[in-house]
Amino acid sequence: MTEGATTPVGEPGRDLPLDAHLHTDLSPDSDVPIDVYAALAVEREITELAITDHVDFDARDPAYGYATYADRERTARAAAERWAPRGVQIRFGAELTFNRAWEGDLRAHLQRHAYDYTIGSVHDWPDSPYVAARVRTFATGRPLDEVLAPYLAEVRAAAESGLFDTLGHLDVVRRYLHDIIPAAAIYGAVELFEPTLRALVDSGTALEVNASGYRHPAGVAYPGPPLVNRYRELGGRHVTAGSDAHRERHFAWGLEAAYRVLAEAGYTGLAFRRGADRTSVEMPGRLMLPSAGGRVA
């Protein structure tokens, strides 16, 4: 059992209203046709999916130019038509990699192209100290604030930008540091994340609880309960959840546990956008705590 969850995280979610983070074979690191996810959604009674294939803006990154906007939109829209009669709503989204070095290109992309829903995420960009070949040398012997500083500078800028509906996997830097700095040490320094959390509150960008963390060595969602709880304490209202699946077996994997992290922090709904319509997706009643205060507008 993982902290913040009262259901085994190794079980795929069932009877849930939304998986807001999915990658198909139009992402370079996924091999899943969109119809495979849709069929699984029917089987597991998950009624809405956001297809959020990667969009990169550095030519050295794998999703740079991997699939065109037109191809991604056509695939998602056609699947939406096929599966709506079977009770699955499919939204055309994107996970856009953020970095201040290419923020102008990213802004221009979003001005030219319309999505139903967008996630902005910071990854281990090519020049970052977190790539496998240099992360240990960079992190060893440095104080925690210095180790996290390059990542936190980018993720705070992403939150401040106001470009996205959701900020993806806020503390995924833990993944790059997992065998160097334990998650407990990072969660013992929540104050380092507060500028980013406050920027989310101020910009109205939702905080994602990303279930892929349950598949990674620390076994905690991105972010885990300490950061979700602090976001709520700071006045954060908008949250969402996604499995971040890249493989068929990971569809909705750990998703109910991610929902429970949010429920245990007092949230009752997920922030989502369906094109022009911003909405709150109600979480199942079985997950709600008696004291839940309805924190999503």
The domains found in the chain, sorted by start residue, are: 19-287 (3.20.20.140)
Measured CA to CA in angstroms, residue 11 lies from 46, 57, 65, 93 at distances of: 14, 35, 34, 25
Contact 14, 45 (CB under 8 A): yes
d(CA 182, CA 179): 7
What per-residue confidence (pLDDT) applies to 10?
62
Pairing mode, if any, of strands 269-274 and 54-55?
Answer: unpaired
Q: Provide the CA 24 distance to its chain's centre, in angstroms.
A: 15
pLDDT mean for each 10 residues of the chain (297 residues):
44 91 98 98 98 98 97 98 98 98 98 98 95 96 97 98 98 95 94 98 98 91 96 98 97 96 96 97 87 50
Per the omega criterion (within 30 degrees of 0), is the bond before 223 cis?
Answer: yes
Measured CA to CA in angstroms, residue 45 lies from 15, 42, 153, 268 at distances of: 5, 5, 39, 19
Helix, strand, coil percentages (3-state) for the chain, rounded to 5, are 40, 20, 40
Print burial letters for 21-33: b (CB count within 10 Å at least 16), e (below 16): bbbbbbbbebebe
The structure tokens listed for 147 are 């180790």
Write phi, then psi, for 249 (nearest 5 degrees). -70, -15
Residue 93, CA atoms < 13 Å, CB-side half-sphere: 29
**Cβ burial, residue 253 (10 Å; 0-12/13-18/19+):** buried
Q: Provide the CA 178 distance to its chain's centre, in angstroms.
A: 19
The structure tokens listed for 12 are 């795929």
Helix (H, G, I), strand (E, B) or coil at 51: strand
d(CA 44, CA 197): 33
Residue 170, CA atoms < 13 Å, CB-side half-sphere: 34
What per-residue confidence (pLDDT) applies to 8?
52
